[in-house]
């Protein structure tokens, strides 16, 4: 199979480890849900909404992303959102997903965490049964809100503990360092939850150190600014801490001016355990396969690098080793 042909990239078994379910809300579904729920939108139609997806930085994007999430109201809405994402995964050769949801975006609007979780979980179960896609869900705290609000969110979610396996930290990074969330992450870990955190997307390398040492995360979401601190890069290599990198997101949000400037393959070649992910694909121009294709085309990714990235996604996942082994064997066949 030719490497220039997207089918090679599509058939590689891949895990998606950095995906905000709310960021997979396509304009078409957004408009359908607005109509179903009687929500007035400040855009005339799908085209006008898509045209507004021009961002200079993370905050520009977050403003429109939180506004869009306002159409999600019922359990069925959360089901439909999650199911649509899983169908995209199936089309792209994604075999395992570890998505985030942002409960506070919805509890602020009076929507109970139980409503959110039941819809998402039912879709994830159908994804396993009907599409063969396994999953683990991550509950993510909004770092622009206070730690006390994160604690209240965790407490509301704990009776539904069987629906999620980890906590995360996302939203506006500047001025909201990981060190402000130590207590809530400690509480989560006491409950047997794993931890991940966005760090080093727009924020400095120091936030990556904090996420590692204070929040004790198993992965760093983004992390591309690690290169500003060579000692940190050495540590990431030594400990094989995965970075869930999101190439299209990083160019849309101007973390890198253009894909040719992206550092993902340099990090890979240095021995950092990087993975490819889509972050908020409805806003950034594509799902998993589009991210692989963009990296291949802009950075001359080789077949071997593509396979290494897919391998990293499997071994960086929370799947048990016996399940990882099945996908790794398939990747060996592709090599």
Q: Per the annotation, where are the binding residues for substrate?
A: 280
- Set 16, 22, 173, 201: catalytic member: 201
CA dihedral (167, 172, 178, 182) positive or negative: negative
User: Which residue number, 65 or 209, has a Cβ lying nearer to ligand ADE?
Assistant: 65
* Secondary structure class of 141 (helix, strand, coil): strand
Stated as kind and residue range, the H or E segment containing 318 is none
143 binds, among Zn ion, ligand ADE, none (CB under 5 to 8 A by kind): none
Min dist CB 282 to ligand ADE, Å, is: 11
Q: Is 22 in the site for Zn ion (CB under 5 A)?
A: no
Radius of gyration, CA atoms only, the chain: 19
Min dist CB 248 to ligand ADE, Å, is: 11
Joined together, the tokens standing for residue 291 give 């991210």
Min dist CB 142 to ligand ADE, Å, is: 8
80 binds, among ligand ADE, Zn ion, none (CB under 5 to 8 A by kind): none
Contact segment (CB under 5 A) with Zn ion among 108-116, 173-181, 278-286, 296-304 equals 278-286
Annotated catalytic residue 201:
yes
Joined together, the tokens standing for residue 196 give 């991940």
Q: Is 279 in the site for Zn ion (CB under 5 A)?
A: yes
User: Which residue number, 73 or 262, has a Cβ lying nearer to Zn ion?
Assistant: 262
User: Which residue number, 104 or 121, has a Cβ lying nearer to ligand ADE?
Assistant: 104
Residue closest to 224 by CA, chosen among 209, 243, 241:
243
Rounded CA separation 225/261 (Å): 13
Please answer whether residues 7 and 1 qualify as being in contact, where contact means their C-beta atoms are separated by less than 8 angstroms.
Answer: yes
Rounded CA separation 266/185 (Å): 31
Min dist CB 284 to ligand ADE, Å, is: 9
Contact segment (CB under 5 A) with Zn ion among 9-17, 185-193, 273-281, 317-325 equals 273-281
Residue whose CB is nearest to ligand ADE in the complex, by number:
170
171 binds, among Zn ion, ligand ADE, none (CB under 5 to 8 A by kind): ligand ADE
136 binds, among Zn ion, ligand ADE, none (CB under 5 to 8 A by kind): none
* Secondary structure class of 111 (helix, strand, coil): coil
User: Which residue number, 212 or 319, has a Cβ lying nearer to ligand ADE?
Assistant: 212
Contacts with ligand ADE, residue ranges (CB under 6 A): 20, 23, 58, 65, 170-171, 198, 201, 249, 279-280
User: Which residue number, 12 or 25, has a Cβ lying nearer to ligand ADE?
Assistant: 25
Residue ranges in the chain assigned as alpha helix (H): 6-11, 27-37, 46-51, 58-69, 75-92, 103-107, 113-126, 147-157, 182-190, 205-213, 230-239, 247-252, 264-270, 281-284, 288-299, 303-315, 321-334
Joined together, the tokens standing for residue 159 give 């009776």
Annotated binding site for Zn(2+): 18, 20, 198, 279
Output phi, psi for 200, to 5 deg. Answer: 70, 30
Catalytic sites, residue numbers: 201
């Amino acid at each position: 199979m030719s490497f220039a042909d997207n089918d090679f990239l599509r058939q590689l078994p891949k895990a998606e480890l950095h995906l905000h379910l709310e960021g997979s809300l396509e304009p078409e579904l957004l408009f359908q849900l607005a109509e179903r729920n009687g929500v007035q939108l400040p855009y005339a139609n799908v085209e006008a909404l898509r045209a507004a997806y021009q961002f200079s930085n993370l905050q520009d994007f977050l403003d429109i992303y939180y506004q869009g999430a306002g159409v999600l109201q019922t359990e069925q809405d959360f089901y439909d959102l999650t199911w649509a994402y899983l169908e995209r995964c199936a089309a792209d050769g994604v075999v395992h997903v570890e998505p985030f949801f942002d409960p506070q975006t919805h509890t602020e609007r009076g929507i109970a965490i139980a409503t959110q979780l039941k819809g998402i979980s039912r879709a994830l179960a159908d994804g396993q049964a009907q599409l063969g896609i396994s999953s683990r869900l991550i509950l993510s705290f909004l770092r622009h809100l206070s730690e006390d609000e994160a604690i209240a969110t965790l407490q509301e979610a704990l009776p539904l503990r069987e629906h999620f396996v980890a906590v995360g930290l996302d939203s506006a990074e500047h001025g909201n360092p990981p060190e402000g969330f130590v207590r809530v992450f400690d509480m989560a870990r006491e409950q047997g939850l794993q931890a991940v955190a966005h760090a080093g997307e727009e924020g400095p390398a120091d936030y990556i150190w904090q996420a590692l040492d204070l929040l004790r995360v198993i992965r760093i979401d983004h992390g591309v600014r690690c290169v500003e601190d060579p000692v940190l890069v050495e540590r990431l290599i030594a400990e094989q801490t995965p970075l869930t990198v999101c190439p299209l997101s990083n160019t849309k949000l101007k973390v890198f001016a253009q894909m040719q400037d992206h550092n993902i393959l340099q990090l890979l070649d240095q021995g950092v355990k990087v993975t490819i992910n889509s972050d908020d694909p409805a806003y950034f121009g594509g799902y998993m396969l589009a991210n692989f294709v963009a990296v291949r085309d802009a950075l001359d990714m080789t077949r071997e690098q593509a396979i290494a990235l897919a391998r990293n996604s499997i071994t960086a996942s929370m799947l048990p080793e016996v399940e990882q082994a099945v996908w790794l064997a398939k990747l060996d066949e592709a090599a």
